[in-house]
Amino acid sequence: MIRIANGQGFWGDWLEAPVRLVEQGPIDYLALDYLAEITMSILQKQKEADPNLGYARDFPPLIARIQRRLIERDVKVIANAGGVNPIACAREVRRLAPSLKVAVVTGDDVFGRLDEFLAAGHAMKNMDTGEPLSTIRDRILSANAYIGAFPLAEALAAGADVVIAGRCTDTALSLAPMIHRFGWKPDEWDKLAAGTIAGHIVECGAQCTGGNCQVDWQGIPDMANIGYPIIEADHDGRFSITKHEGTGGRVSVDVVKEQLLYELGDPKNYITPDCVADFTSIQLKDAGPDRVQVSGIRGSARPQMLKLSIAYSYGWKAIGTLVYSAPQALEKSQAADKIVRQRLHQLGLEFEEIYTEFFGVNACWGPVALPNPDPPEVQLRIGVRGQDRKAVDRFTRELIPLVLSGPPTGTGFGDGRPPVREVVAYWPALIPRELIQTSVEVVE
Amino acid sequence: MKIPLSRIAHARSGDKGDTSNIGIIASNARHYPILAREVTAERVKHFFGEMVKGNVERYELPNLGALNFLLHGALGGGGTLSLRIDAQGKTLGAALLRMEIEIGDGELR
C-alpha cells in the first residue's frame, strides 16, 4: 500500500496544506496541481519578459520550506508547477534545496511546433465550435498537449525526489506513483482507470474532505484545520480516500460522491491520455471514520489523440460596480443600469456583450433567484466585453459619475474605476499522440 | 405531493468552458429511482429558462445514486469570457435543488 496526498488543488490554494501533509502524518507521495487552462498563457507572457520565469513561482519556496521533512520521511513530490518553463523551475528548486534530486518532464509544450502541425495537415479544430486553428493563428499565446502519467512515473524511476512537469493532466500526478510502485503496464486499463479516478477524487484538494460540501455543511468539524486528501492505493487497483488523524473536515461516501460528480462529462467516457475510465463502475463504501473504500473500477483503451490546451488573445473586458441602499435599492440600480447603457449608446461605443447583474437579488441564480422585493442594499454590477480596448476603457469611466448624476444613495465607488483586463480564451483541440514525444531530464 | 428536490438530494456543480455540469445525488440511495423519473433533461432546461442557451444532457450513474447534467451555453461564454459573478456555475447545483418534483404517497418511506 502507498499513500499519495494532494496538497494543492489549484495555484492559489491554501499555502499551509502541503506543509501540514508532510508534518501531520505518514505519506509517500505529495501531488501538487498548479495549472488551470489559462494559467499557461500567463506563464508564457512571464517567460517572454524574463526567460528565467514561466513557472509556478510559489513552488520552489514551498519545496525549500518542506525539504527537511521530505528527506526525513522519504516523501517524493510530483507537481505540474513547471508551466512553460519546467527547466527554470527545476533550477530554482535546486538552488533553494540543493540536496534534492529534481527531474523534469518536457515535451508537452508545442507552442513552437504549431506551424509544423498545420503544414502537416492537422487543422486542430476547436472541439466546441469546429473552427480551424488558422482563424486565430496570429493571436495564440501558448499551446500545450496534455500528457499522461507514464512520463511522470519514468521520472520517479530515475530516482527523483521532486518531479516537475508542465501540462500533464491533474489525474496523472496521483496515477504516476501507482504506475511506478506497482509496475502497472500501459494496457492494464482497469488499474489505470482506478488510479485515474483516485486522482480525480483528490485533484481539487479539500473538496473531497468536506470543503464545498452540501451535506451537513454546518456539522463538518474544524474547517479551519481541514485535512487534505490522501489516497491509500493497493497494487490491484483498489484504494481508499482518507485524511490524517486529528485534522478537520470529513471524508464520507456523500462527500466523495459530490467530488466524483464535479466537472464530470460523460461518466462512461472519462478520457485521459492514459486510459478511458468508466465512472458508472465505481463502488463506494464507508470504511471507518473519515475513510471511504473505492473498488470495482473498469477502464478501456487510451485514445489515439491527445488534447491540446491552446490559449489565445480574445479581446478586453471590464466589470464595474456601484451600491444602492434601500428604499427601492433594486429600482435605483435598474435605473442606473439604464442610464449607463444609454450613455454608452450615445457615445457610439459597441461591445460584444453588456451584462448586468443585481448582486443581492439575482447575480448567482438569474431568473431562478428567490424573489427579494425590498432588499436593504443592492450592488449594481455591469460588465462589458469587446475587441476594442478603447471602448472598454471608456466604459470604466461611466459608472462613478452616476453617484452625483444618477439615482440617490449611490455609493461603493471607493476603489475607483475598474481595471481593463485582457481576455485570454481557451481553444481545445486534438492532435495525434505520436506527434508528442516526452522526455525526462534530471537537473543537476 | 410536491417537494423540493433538496428534500431527497444533494448536489455539486462546476464548469467545462461554457457548459455547466451539475451532479445531483440521492441522499438515500433508495430514492434514486425518483430522481431518475422526475429530474429529466427537459425539466432541468425548463427550470433554468433563459439562463441556458443550449441543450441539456443527462447521464445516469445508478452506482452512485446520481445524475449528471450538462447545461450547454449556461455560463455567459464560460471561463475568462464570462461577465457573470458565478462564471464557473458553482452555485447552480444549489439552485437546481429548489426545483419541485412530484412524488407519490408513501414514496419517501
pLDDT tens-digit readout, A377-397: 999 999 999 999 999 999 999
C-alpha to C-alpha distance for A393 and A351, rounded to whole angstroms: 12
Q: What is the DSSP letter of A227?
A: P
Minimal-distance CA residue of chain B relative to A213: B12
Compute the distance between CA of residue B84 and CA of residue B69 in angstroms, rounded to an integer.
20
Instruction: Enumerate residues 327 to 386 of chain A having a beta carbon within 8 A of any beta carbon in chain B.
Output: 353, 355, 357, 359, 363-370, 381, 383-385
Set of chain A residues whose Cβ sits within 8 Å of the Cβ of B64? 257, 260-261, 279, 282, 284
**pLDDT at residue A40, as a whole number:** 86
The pLDDT of residue B105: 87
Residue B69 lies in a domain: yes
Cβ distance A381 to B85 less than 8 Å, yes or no, reads: yes
Considering only alpha carbons, which residue of chain A is nearest residue B99?
Answer: A368
Place of cell 438569474: A366
Averaged pLDDT for residues A261-275:
98
Q: How much is the pLDDT for A184? A: 98
Band of pLDDT at residue A250, cut at 50, 70 and 90:
very high
Residue A27 pLDDT greater than 80, yes or no: yes
Give the integer Cα–Cα distance in Å for A81 and B84: 29
Q: Is residue B75 part of a domain?
A: yes
pLDDT for position A37: 73
Summarize the confidence of residues A79-99 as an average pLDDT: 97
Q: Which of residues 107-136 of A touch B (CB under 8 A)?
A: 128
> Any idea what the CATH number is for the domain that residue B73 is in?
3.30.70
How much is the pLDDT for A138?
A: 96
Phi, psi of A91 (to 5 degrees): -60, -40
Q: Is the pLDDT of residue A224 over 80?
A: yes
Chain B residues touching A212 at Cβ < 8 A: 12, 90
Is the CB of residue B27 less than 8 Å away from at least one CB of chain A?
A: yes
Give the minimum alpha-carbon distance from A441 to chain B in angstroms, rounded to a whole number. Answer: 33
Tally of domains within chain B: 1
pLDDT at A38 exceeding the cut of 80: no
Task: State percent of chain A over pLDDT 70.
Answer: 100
Look up cell 486542430; give the residue.
A124
* pLDDT higher than threshold 90 for residue A183: yes
| Residue-wise DSSP of B61-90 | EGGGTEEEEEETT-STT-TTT--STTTT-T
Q: What is the pLDDT of residue A41?
A: 83
For range A136-157, the mean pLDDT: 97
Segments of A235-347 assigned E as strands = 239-242, 270-271, 276-278, 283-286, 291-295, 298-300, 305-325
Per-residue pLDDT at A44 = 87
Note whether A172 and A148 are within 8 A (CB).
yes
Residue B87 forms part of a structural domain = no
Residue extents of the structural domains in chain A: 2-108+146-303, 313-427
Residue B109 lies in a domain: no
Q: How large a percentage of chain B has pLDDT more than 90?
A: 91
Distance from CA of B38 to the nearest CA of A (A): 19
Q: What is the ipTM of this complex?
A: 0.98
List Cβ<8 Å contacts ≥24 apart for A66-69: A66/A18, A66/A19, A66/A22, A67/A96, A67/A97, A67/A99, A67/A100, A69/A22, A69/A23
Of A301-305, A366-370, B10-14, give the lowest mean pLDDT range: A366-370
Strands B66-71 and B19-26: antiparallel
Residue A438 confidence (pLDDT): 97
Third-level CATH fold of A313-427: Alpha-Beta Plaits (3.30.70)
CB A439 within 8 A of CB A107: yes
* Residue B8 at interface with chain A, using a CB cutoff of 8 Å: no
Residues of B in contact with A268 (CB under 8 A): 59
How would you classify the pairing of strands A298-300 and A377-386? Answer: unpaired
- A188 CB neighbour count, 10 Å cutoff: 17
- Section A2-20 average pLDDT: 96
Q: Is the pLDDT of residue B78 over 90?
A: no
Q: Which long-range contacts (CB under 8 A, 24 or more apart) does A61-69 make?
A: A61/A96, A62/A15, A62/A18, A62/A19, A62/A32, A63/A93, A63/A96, A63/A97, A63/A100, A63/A162, A64/A93, A64/A96, A64/A97, A65/A19, A66/A18, A66/A19, A66/A22, A67/A96, A67/A97, A67/A99, A67/A100, A69/A22, A69/A23
- DSSP H or E stretch at residue A23: helix A16-23
Whether the CB of B32 is below 8 Å from some CB of chain A: the reply is no
Q: What is the domain extent for residue B74? A: 2-82+94-102
CA atoms within a 13 Å half-sphere pointing along the CA-CB vector of A11: 19
Residue A92 near residue A104, CB atoms below 8 Å: no
pLDDT of residue A3: 98
B68 pLDDT more than 80: yes
- pLDDT value of position B106: 87
Helix (H, G, I), strand (E, B) or coil at A73: coil
pLDDT of residue A48: 86
**Residues above pLDDT 70, as percent of chain B:** 100
Measured in residues, chain B has a length of 109
Contact A214, B12 (CB under 8 A): yes
Q: How far is B54 from chain A (nearest CA, A)?
A: 12
Task: List, for residues A345-356, the tens digit of each pLDDT value.
Answer: 999 999 999 999
Q: Which residues are CB-contacts of A129 (< 8 A; sequence separation ≥ 6)?
A: none
Q: Does residue B87 carry a pLDDT above 90?
A: yes
- pLDDT for A39: 85
Mark yes or no for CB contact B16/A280 under 8 Å.
Answer: no
Compute the distance between CA of residue A236 and CA of residue A412 in angstroms, rounded to an integer: 58
Min CA distance, A265 vs chain B (Å)?
Answer: 7
> Is the pTM here over 0.90, yes or no?
yes
The grid coordinates listed for A308 are 491540446
Q: Residue B48 and residue A367: Cβ atoms within 8 Å? A: yes
* Chain A residues in contact with B77 (beta carbon < 8 A): 353, 385
pLDDT for the residue A414: 86
Predicted confidence (pLDDT) per residue in A160-175, tens digit: 999 999 999 999 999 9
Average pLDDT over residues A69-85: 97
Residue A11's contacts (CB-CB under 8 Å, 6 or more residues apart) are A34, A35, A36, A39, A56, A58
The candidate with the shortest Cα–Cα distance to B58, out of B73, B47, B43, B78, is B43
Please report where in the chains the cell 473552427 appears, as a residue: A131
> Which residues lie closer than 8 Å to B69 by C-beta, 6 or more apart?
B21, B22, B23, B24, B41, B44, B56, B57, B58, B59, B96
How far off is chain A from B107, nearest CA to CA, in Å? 22
Please list every residue in chain A whose beta carbon sits closer than 8 Å to the beta carbon of residue B18: 128
Sign of the Cα pseudo-torsion (A153, A156, A158, A164, in order): positive
Instruction: Report CB contact under 8 Å: B17, A428.
Output: yes
**Phi, psi of A94, rounded to the nearest 5 degrees:** -60, -40
Which candidate in B12, B28, B50, B99 is best for mutational testing of the A interface (most A CBs within 10 A)?
A: B12
Closest-CA distance, B93 to chain A, in angstroms, reads 10
